[in-house]
Amino acid sequence: MRRTFLILASNPMSLFGLFLIGVVVFSAVFADFIAPFPEHRGAVVDFTNFNQPPHWPNIFGTDLVGRDLFSRIIYAYRISLMLGVVVLSIAVPIGVTVGLAAGYLGGWVDFILMRLTDVFLSVPPLVLAMAIMGVLEPTLTNGMLAVTAMWWPWYARLVYNVTRSEAQEGYVLAAQIIGASRLHIMFMEILPNCVPSIVTKMTLDLGFVILIASSLSFLGLGVQAPTPDLGSMVAEGGNYLPDSWWLTVFPSLAILIAVFGFNLVGDALRQVLGSDQ
């Protein structure tokens, strides 16, 4: 772990990525203390200050009902980061379990689980999420379920490929000879060797989950008003370009910062840990 951190610290791009992630995480965790107008995360109306360009104290301007855009972006980071963490916390264990079982047990288990995985992978991720959200009510919880449903197959396929390779290694054969159970071999012997690839993909996917969730909100299928969300802010501001440019530019930059930061760190981890997707 210390060696990995030292290598990351020696890479300027990974350091920049860590800085961007730090900005996102710090904003999400301490939003209540950073936001100059914390009450503007809800249904607040101030028509005396609506649709104003950047000025003090509204450094990012105000939206169409007078709420501080900077405060709403900070709280939107909290929503986006929470969604990403929850989605991966559910999708990764499901995908890892499916991949381990299919890769190690083989036979009919392999056939059924991987054909099910292929069905999910055959549908474009955003289309699958839109289909699910079209059936369910567009809420934050349902948005998490929709994104989770489209994300676990990628981890199943990743772990399946690693498991198929590792299952032929000497340490696995040694565990079989001494009578270790299948569960022990899968989760105690093979899984640790899948961790580098899983960690790398999770780092990259945090940014992609935020992007997909913002896309759903942009289409009106994600987080609903008055809850602040980056995608819905971009969609709302797009109707007033170029005059009210700040309504779109600042939320778009916020999405870019999050996705770019996680991508930089994910790429650096892939090189350090030797993960080959």
Averaged confidence pLDDT in the chain: 88
Extract the runs of DSSP E, i.e. beta strands, from the chain. none
What pLDDT score does 277 carry?
A: 42
At which residue do the structure tokens 């489209």 appear? 150
Of residues 234 and 277, the one with the higher pLDDT is 234
pLDDT digits (tens, 9 = 90+) for 228-274: 999 999 998 988 888 899 999 999 999 999 999 999 988 888 877 76
Closest CA to 34 of 1, 66, 72: 72
- As a whole number, mean pLDDT of residues 68-85 equals 93
Q: Residue 181 gets which letter from DSSP?
A: -
At which residue do the structure tokens 């199943």 appear? 156
Rounded to whole angstroms, the Cα distance separating 130 from 18 reads 31
Buried b or exposed e, range 42-64, using 16+ CB within 10 angstroms: eeeeeeeeebbeeeeebebbbbe
Going from the N-terminus, what domains does the chain have, and what CATH number goes with each? 17-33+59-272 (1.10.3720.10)
Angle (nearest 5°) at CA 99 between 95 and 100: 120
Q: Is 137 exposed, middle or buried (0-12, 13-18, 19+ CB in 10 A)?
A: exposed
Structure tokens at 37: 């107008």
Cβ–Cβ < 8 Å for 226, 43: yes
Give the three-state DSSP class for 224. coil
Of residues 115 and 3, the one with the higher pLDDT is 115
At which residue do the structure tokens 């580098």 appear? 196
What pLDDT score does 147 carry?
A: 84
Q: Give the length of the chain.
A: 277
Cβ–Cβ < 8 Å for 61, 233: no
pLDDT digits (tens, 9 = 90+) for 4-39: 666 677 778 888 999 999 999 999 999 999 999 999
Q: What is the dihedral of CA 240, 246, 248, 251, to 10 degrees?
A: -150
Cβ–Cβ < 8 Å for 231, 215: yes
pLDDT digits (tens, 9 = 90+) for 175-210: 989 988 999 999 999 999 999 889 989 998 999 988
Q: Give φ, ψ of 66 to 5 degrees.
A: 90, 10
Cβ–Cβ < 8 Å for 206, 53: no
Sign of the dihedral defined by the CA atoms of residues 30, 27, 262, 158, in that order: positive
